[in-house]
Amino acid sequence: MLEVKNLLVFYENALAINDLSLRVEKGQMVGVIGSNSAGKTTLMNTLSGLIIDMKIKEERKGGERITIMGEVIFNGEEITHLEPYDRAKKGMALCRERHPIFPESDVLENLKIAGYLIKRSELKERIDFVFSLFPALVGLKHRRAGFLSGGEQQMLAIGMALMIQPILLLLDEPLLGLSPAIQIKLVDAIKNIQKEMGITTVISEQFARPILPMIDYGYIIENGMLTLTGSGKELMGNPEVRAAYFGV
Amino acid sequence: MLQGTLIYGFVNSVILALIALGFNLTFGISGVANFAYGALYIFSAYTAWMLLTWLKINYLISIVIAVLLTSLLGGLIYKFILLRVRGMPISEVIASFGIGLSILEFFRFLGFVGSEYTLPVFIDGSVSIGETYIDIQRLLIVVIGIALVSILYLFTHYTKTGLAFRGMAQEERTALILGINSDKMATFSLAIGSGLAGVAAITILPLGQVAIEGGYSALLNALAVCIVGGLGSTGGILVASVLIGYAQTFTATYIGSHWMMIVSLIAILVILIIKPSGLFGKQKELEERI
Ligand SMILES: Nc1ncnc2c1ncn2[C@@H]1O[C@H](COP(=O)(O)OP(=O)(O)OP(=O)(O)O)[C@@H](O)[C@H]1O
Ligand SMILES: [Mg+2]
C-alpha cells in the first residue's frame, strides 16, 4: 500500500532523512521508533506531503532550501511531489505532532472543518461515528478546542483525521505528553480503529514500550537512518531495543 | 438635534463596518493585510460609473458586473503578485500598497477627476423618523450592512468553504492535510474581500462623489476600524465601527465636519498606545493553553 524507496530529505544542508526505505502493507500497523530529532516528524511530513507545501512556501520567500530525493509510492502511484491536500483526497490522513487542532473553534466545528472532503449528507453520520469512538468528546461538543486537555485534544485530532475516511492513517507521536493511564486508553482506541475499520496505520513514537505490543512491523531510526527493523515481537525481544527505547 | 445625531451616527457606524468588512475578512483568513483595498473600492465605483454612463448598461447590471470585476481583480492580484510574497508581512504591505497606488493614480492619469463622477442612489426619496429626515439610500446602507454581516456569519459557520476558511485562519498546516488547498482559499478570500469593498463602494458612494481621494480615506477608515477592533475579529469590527462612527458624527456635528478624519487617526494612535492588539485582539489569550 505504501512504499518508500531510498528517501533523502535535506533541510538546507542538514540531512534529516538518510537513505530510508520502508514498506507498509494493507491493513498493517507499522511503527516508526526513534528518539528526539531522529527524523520521525520529517518522515511523517514527507509521507503526508506537508513537506512539499513547506518546500514550496520556503522557496517563495527565498527561505530555507528543502530537498527531497527518492520515491514515495502510495497504492502503486508515485506521489513524492504531490501536495498534501491532494494526498488527503487519495485517502491519506496525518495526525500531526502535538495535536494542532483549530483552537478557537469548538469541538463540533473542528470536526465539521475536518469533514471538508466528505459529502454534506455524510457529515453528521461521520461525526457521530467519531463520538462513538471517543465518547469523552460528546460532553465537550461545544467547548473551545483550545481549552481541552492534552489527551482530549489528541482524541479530537485523531477524530479529525478519521473524518476524511482515510485508508492510511499516519500518527505522529500520538502519546506525547500524555499520562500512562491515558496512553493505555488511547492505544486501545488506536488498536480498535485499525482492527475494526481495517485502516492501515503508521505510528511514530519515542518510547517503544506502549506501541511494540500492537504493531505488526517496526522500524527503528536514528539520525534519519534505519538501524533496526523487525516484527513487533522480534523488536520486543531485542536487548538493544529494550535498553535504548524502553525508557525504564 | 440629538436624535438626528444619534441616527446619523448609527448610519455612519454601519458605513464604517461595511468599509472594514472585506479588509477584515481577507486578513482574518489569509493573514494578508491588503493595502490595495482602497483602490479596489474606488475601482468598483469607477467601473460601475463607466458601465452606466458610457455603455448605458442598466444600473443593477452595472453594479453586479463592477462588483464581480473587482472581485476578479482582487483574486488576480493575489494569484500573480501577493502569493509570491505570502508570509512576509512587510513585503505584502509594500506590494499591495504599491498596487493600490498604481490603480488609484492610473485613474488620475486617465483624467478621472472632477465632480461629474457620481453614482445614482438606489431609491430616491426620504422618510422621517421622529423629527429627523433621512434619505432612503442611508436606510438601505443600514439594511445592506446588516444583511452582509449576517450572510458572512452564516457563510463562515455553515458552508464547507466558509468552514475551510476558518480552519485555515487558525492552523494552516492542519487544514492542508485535511484536504484544504490553502493557496486556493487565500485567493478566494482576496476575491471575496475585494468584492465586499466593491459592494461597500457602490452602496456608500451614491451619498457623495466618486473621487480618487475616496480610495485613500476608505483604506484609512478600514485600517482604523480593524486596528481598534482587533484584526480578524468580526465582533471587534462591529464595536469599533460604532465607537468611531459615533465619535466621527459627534465631532462633525459639534466641532466641524473636516475634523471627521482626524477622529480615525486619533483612534488608531490611542489604541496602538493602550492595547496594540485592538480591543478584541486575541493573539495572547489562547496561546498559553496549547
Ligand atoms: N524546518 C527545519 N529546518 C531545519 N532543520 C530541521 C527542520 N525540521 C527538522 N529539522 C531537523 O531535522 C532533524 C529531524 O527532525 P524531526 O523533527 O523530524 O525529528 P523527530 O524525530 O520528529 O524529533 P522529536 O521526537 O523531537 O519530535 C532534527 O535534527 C531537526 O533539527
Ligand atoms: Mg517529531
Q: Which residues of B touch A165 (CB under 8 A)?
A: none
pLDDT on residue B285:
43
The residue contributing the CA closest to ligand 1 atom 3 is: A11
Under the banding of pLDDT at 50, 70 and 90, the label for residue B283 is low
State the pLDDT at residue A196: 83
ipTM: 0.94
Look at the domain B2-289 and name its fold: ABC transporter involved in vitamin B12 uptake, BtuC (1.10.3470)
Percent of chain B scoring above 90 in pLDDT: 76
Return the pLDDT at B258: 86
| Alpha carbon distances (Å) from A92 to A1, A163, A189 | 11, 11, 19
**pLDDT score for B282:** 61
pTM of the model: 0.90
| Exposed / middle / buried, residue B103 (Cβ in 10 Å: 0-12, 13-18, 19+) | buried
B199/B205 Cα distance (integer angstroms): 10
pLDDT of residue B129: 86
For residues B54-81, average pLDDT: 96
Which of A7, A37, A55, A170 is the best mutation target for the ligand 1 pocket, counting ligand atoms within 8 Å of the beta carbon and taking the most? A37
Probe residue for ligand 1, chosen from A10, A32, A40 as the CB with the greatest number of ligand atoms within 8 Å = A40
What residue in B sits closest to A48 (Cα-Cα)? B177
DSSP secondary structure letter of residue A159: H
Residue A224, CA distances (Å) to A34, A219, B66, B133, B172 in order: 9, 11, 55, 75, 26
Is the distance from the beta carbon of residue A39 to the nearest atom of ligand 1 less than 6 Å?
A: yes
Distances (CA, A) of A236 to A16, A214, B117: 26, 11, 81
Contacts of B157 in chain A (CB under 8 A): 109
Written as one letter, the residue type at A172 is D
User: Averaged over A185-207, what is the pLDDT?
Assistant: 90
Residue given cell 499516519 in the structure block: A170
CB A16 less than 6 A from any atom of ligand 1? yes
Look up residue B34 and give its three cell numbers: 491588503
Residue A242 distance to chain B (closest CA, Å): 32
Domain boundaries, chain B: 2-289
* pLDDT at A143 > cutoff 90: yes
**Dihedral of CA B87/B91/B97/B99: which sign?**
negative
Confidence check: pLDDT of B76 > 90 = yes
At residue A74 the predicted structure's pLDDT band, cuts being 50, 70 and 90, is: very high
Q: At residue B96, does pLDDT exceed 70? A: yes
pLDDT in tens, B234-276: 889 999 999 999 999 999 999 988 888 888 899 899 988 888 8
**Per-residue pLDDT reduced to its tens digit, B164-196:** 999 999 999 999 999 999 999 999 999 999 999
**Where does the pLDDT of residue A14 fall: very low under 50, low under 70, confident under 90, or very high at 90 and above?**
very high
Ligand 2: distance of its center to the CA of A222 in Å? 13
Indicate if the pLDDT at residue A248 is higher than 80.
no
Is A119 near chain B, with CB under 8 Å?
Answer: no
Contacts of A104 in chain B (CB under 8 A): 170, 282, 286
Domain residues of chain A, as ranges? 2-246
Q: Assign A142 to helix, strand or coil.
A: coil
Task: State the distance between the two ends of chain A, measured CA to CA, in whole angstroms.
Answer: 35
Is residue B288 scored above 60 in pLDDT?
no
Look at residue A111 in the predicted model and tell me its pLDDT. 97
pLDDT, tens only, A42-61: 999 999 999 999 999 998 88
Quick one: closest CA in A to B165, which residue?
A113
CATH number for A2-246 (one of 3.30.450.20, 3.40.50.300, 1.10.10.10, 3.20.20.100): it is 3.40.50.300
* C-alpha A29 – ligand 2 centre gap (Å): 19
Closest-CA distance, B31 to chain A, in angstroms, reads 14
pLDDT tens figures, B25-46: 999 888 899 999 999 999 999 9
pLDDT tens-digit series, residues B258-269: 888 888 899 899
- Summarize pLDDT for B193-232 with one digit per residue, the tens: 999 999 999 999 999 999 999 999 999 999 999 999 988 7
Ligand nearest to the CA of A10: 1
